Structure 1
Amino acid sequence: MSLDPIVAEVTVPVTPTEAFVGFTAQMGEWWDPAVTPEPATYSGIAIDPDGPVEMVHGDEHFTWGRVMEWDPIGRYTQEFWLGHPEDEATVLDVRFTEAEAGATLVRLVHSGWLPGTEDLRARYADWQRLLDRYAAHVS
């Protein structure tokens, strides 16, 4: 098992700023409810550019991250602890880079795995599938 960063990429047919908005402000629309604390009550994701990232289930909010960098021209970074303790937070770093024909390359890197968290890391193999959902949403 590995502690290497998990990397997933997708190219979307929108500008980097549109890709950023689709990834952040619209995350709740493309995120798979199956990977939430309570899929049956999932209603969205709330991101405060200066603070928490939360799953919304009806009136309940489950904090699972904190924004570290919010740059609508090219980068979104957050601490990430969905499914593991906050004191073992990992890092999601998402870059939005211009590609050919007005498209954007979206590259997600999930890093910061600590020794002893190899089994935990193995549970996060769905990033490519989630990015494919995102791409379908913004396309």
Structure 2
Amino acid sequence: MIDPVVAEITVPRTPTEAFVGFTAQMGEWWDPMLSPDPATFTGISIDPNGPVASVHGDEEYVWGRVMNWDPIGHYTQEFWLGHPEEEATVLDVRFTEAPEGTLVRLVHSGWMPGTEELRDKYTHWGDLLERYAAHVS
């Protein structure tokens, strides 16, 4: 296995508030440039029991599936934005109480041998977490 991509940030919210900001409000802080069609990006749709999709007007591009939805502190999804669904990786995000709010730790794992170049394209999680933190702060 290839090492996961790990990013973390602390936000001034409770774990549940941080979870809601990360999941239900993802479309508000996600960078449209990281979507299938930045010019038409209008948000992200997450079904707690199913797909994760970029919304582009009336179109949805599914690029994940929720695996674990626990508003008390844990979100996991299959992830295949930018690569085939059959090569899905895993996003695991934990929300843990910290002295100044909540530590949000994202681990993007499941990289298989031969996907090193693809993995190298997913170093933007720190930037995305900065956008997320600005949104929930």
Shared fold by TM > 0.5?
yes
Alpha-carbon separation, structure 2, partners of 1:43 and 1:3: 33
Q: Which residue of 1 aligns with 2:68?
A: 69
* Matched ranges for 1:110-129 at <5 A: 110-129=108-127
Cα distance in 2, alignment partners of residues 96 and 57 from structure 1: 29
TM-score normalised by the chain length of structure 2: 0.99
How far does residue 3 in structure 1 lie from its aligned partner after superposition? Answer: 1.8
Shift of 1:46: 0.2
TM-score (normalizing by structure 1)? 0.97
- Within a 5 Å distance, the mapping from 1:99-110 to structure 2 comes to 99-101=98-100, 103-110=101-108
Structure 1 residue runs of 5 or longer lacking an equivalent are none
Matched residue type, 2:44 = I
Counterpart residue type for residue 17 of structure 1: T
Match of 2:107, as an amino acid? Answer: V
Following the alignment from structure 2 to structure 1, what is the Cα–Cα distance between the partners of residues 117 and 5? 13
Show the counterpart of 1:19. Answer: 18
Aligned to 1:60: 59
Q: Is the aligned partner of 1:36 residue 2:35?
A: yes
**Aligned equivalents of 2:91, 2:13: Cα separation in 1:** 22
1:127 alignment partner AA = W
Q: 3-state SS of the aligned residue for 1:125?
A: coil
1:135 maps onto 2:117 in alignment: no
Size of the aligned set, in residue pairs, is: 137
Cα separation, 2, equivalents of 1:35 and 1:20: 21
Amino acid at match of 1:13: P
Identity %: 76
Mapped to 2, the partners of 1:92 and 1:44 lie a distance apart of 19
**In 1, distance between residues paired with 2:112 and 2:56?**
30
SS at match of 1:55: strand
Root mean square deviation, CA, Å: 0.9
Deviating 4+ runs (over 6 angstroms): none
Q: Give a deviation string over 1:13-71, Cα, whole Å, max 9, x none.
A: 00000000000000000000011110000000000000000000010000000000000
